Amino acid sequence: MNTQTAEPDRKLFWACFIALVATAFGFIVRTNVIGEWGAQFDLDETQKGELFGVGLWPFAISIVLFSLVIDRIGYGTAMAFAFACHVSSTLLLIFATGYSMLYVGTFIFALGCGTVEAVINPVVATMFSREKTKWLNILHAGWPGGLVLAGLLAIGMGDARWTYKVALLLIPTAIYGMMMLGCRFPVSERVAAGVSHRAMLQEGGFLGAVIVVALIVFQLGAVFGIESAWVKVGVTAAISVAYGVYVQSLGRPMFAFLLLIMVLLATTELGVDSWITPLMEIEMKARSLSPSWVLVYTSFIMMVLRFCAGPIVHRLSPLGLLAACSAIAAIGLVALSGATGFMILVAATLYGVGKTFFWPTMIGIVSERFPRGGAMTLNATGGVGMLGVGLIGAVLLGNIQDKAVDRGLAAYDRKQGTALHAKYIGAEKTSVFGKYRSLDATALKNAPAEDGAIIQQVRGESQKGALMTTAIFPTVMLGCYLALLLYFRSRGGYRAVEIHADAG
């Protein structure tokens, strides 16, 4: 059964597009001001990573929770909640006085962003049910489009106080809020086909629940300081088993496999994007350029290519496109880790092209292969990606850098007979990746110029190592997509699944 019977509401589509632009504004503004937050509030690299992470994992939780009830509470109600979150969180960030307020403000903004995505993905998939992957790619051009626009505005503001840059978030928020007024949201594809709510939940089943619940429980455990792995595993098992008993379904094994790939995908795209500005800071500033230009440039590539997604997807197939992008992204990250001068532009181009189609094409594949899962399977995929990068990716990249600087200064002391490590490395801390030691921000502020130059050099080497490590993720993804291509070839090729009503 095909549900696209009426002409899609283009105003609603562009309102969804601008709402996604607003979420991108929050992402790039945070990457642009994170250095100023660190200097003003004495944040170390892992704390910065935690702020990047809290900008992502609440996003994921709201996607997952709203996907379970979105068809019942209504898309309009959900968008009103998202608007309220975006406005209130922006004000909270502007008036922040320390790490806690930054954390809470970022948390609320992320909840709003997740709610936006929980609405716009099923709305667009329903309006364009015959060309889901194409139109989801065009919709998600709003993400890099927002990154480009906000990045240019932030760069243009130069040394203006960071609070003014945060205030930029109110611009797209006000626009999508006004555009949504008067819009009529469509009935979802799943509801129109007569597929029951329980049948929707059965698509994910026990296997999907284990992955989603585990990521949520371990993330919340880290937030609330629950260190016992047994407690987290026990809670995950209890909730997952209860869900499995209720829906009486193991779930689709391929859907569970795609969820696991999504963790790698999100870390490759959003994990690196979270850190790309500070990671390239030393190299770019040596050439009197803002490090934000790297993210703006790669985002511009994504925006342009996503608008051209239709012919590309038709020629390569969704899985073929993802396999090609994985290979290109891996090469781009390796190149970025050692790039200098003009080669930064070349490497950034490779990385930008590689990451372009990751997110919307994966969402499109899930929507095409599991249409009975409706908003649940569609948004659980995005939610798992956000949870994965919030819990693992963003924090991992920060942690890699802290540990690399720790080792680098110790090695420099052994070689040169100095005592920089004892002077500038702070007390031991704990993160989700175990114990670590980072640079002492207070001691670093008072460091003489010669010490600062040495530490800068060690930091630069640690940043390049972090990018090299991240190339592992798209490499594994390439293997997964090739395996899926072989699987579908053995069954006559990849094709979208037609949705059917419940038999009962």
Most confident of 98-102, 130-134, 253-257, 285-289: 253-257
pLDDT at residue 300 above 80? yes
Give DSSP secondary structure letters for 10-63: HHHHHHHHHHHHHHHHHHHHHHHHHHHHHHHHT--HHHHHHHHHHTTHHHHHHH
Which range has the worst mean pLDDT, 133-142, 320-329, 377-386, 433-442?
433-442
Buried/exposed code over 448-487 (b: 16+ C-beta within 10 A; e: otherwise)? eeebeebbeebbbebbbbbbeebbebbbebbebbbebbee
Give kind and range of the element (H or E) at residue 204. helix 197-223
Confidence at residue 202, expressed as pLDDT on a 0 to 100 scale: 94
Reported confidence tier of residue 79, pLDDT bands at 50, 70, 90: very high
Rounded mean pLDDT of the chain?
A: 86
pLDDT at residue 277 above 70? no
Which range has the worst mean pLDDT, 180-184, 312-316, 487-491?
312-316
Confidence at residue 310, expressed as pLDDT on a 0 to 100 scale: 77
pLDDT in tens, 104-162: 999 999 999 999 999 999 999 889 888 888 899 999 999 989 988 988 888 788 888 99
298 neighbors 348 (Cβ within 8 angstroms): yes
- Tell which residue, 266, 274, 322, has the closest CA to residue 295: 274
pLDDT at residue 1 above 60? no
% of the chain at pLDDT higher than 90: 39
Confidence at residue 275, expressed as pLDDT on a 0 to 100 scale: 62
pLDDT at residue 503 above 50? no
pLDDT at residue 3 above 60? no
Residue 337: C-alpha distances to residues 166, 205, 256, 422 (Å): 30, 40, 32, 28
Most confident of 50-64, 94-108, 340-354, 399-413: 94-108
Reported confidence tier of residue 211, pLDDT bands at 50, 70, 90: very high
- Tell which residue, 426, 434, 428, 425, has the closest CA to residue 400: 434
pLDDT in tens, 335-376: 888 777 778 778 888 988 998 999 999 999 999 999 999 889
Q: Which residues contact 487 (CB under 8 A, 6 or more apart)?
A: none
Apex CA 259: angle with CA 258 and CA 263, to 5°? 110
pLDDT at residue 89 above 80? yes
Q: What is the mean pLDDT of residues 434-454?
A: 84
Confidence at residue 190, expressed as pLDDT on a 0 to 100 scale: 85
pLDDT at residue 281 above 70? no
% of the chain at pLDDT higher than 70: 94
Query: What class is the 10-402+468-489 domain?
Result: mainly alpha
pTM of the model: 0.81
- Tell which residue, 299, 401, 296, 280, has the closest CA to residue 341: 280
* Side chain identity at residue 276, one-letter code: I
> What is the four-CA torsion angle of 386, 154, 470, 329, rounded to 10 degrees?
90
Structure tokens at 463: 């940043």
pLDDT at residue 242 above 80? yes
Reported confidence tier of residue 486, pLDDT bands at 50, 70, 90: very high
pLDDT at residue 61 above 50? yes
Reported confidence tier of residue 5, pLDDT bands at 50, 70, 90: very low
Reported confidence tier of residue 412, pLDDT bands at 50, 70, 90: confident
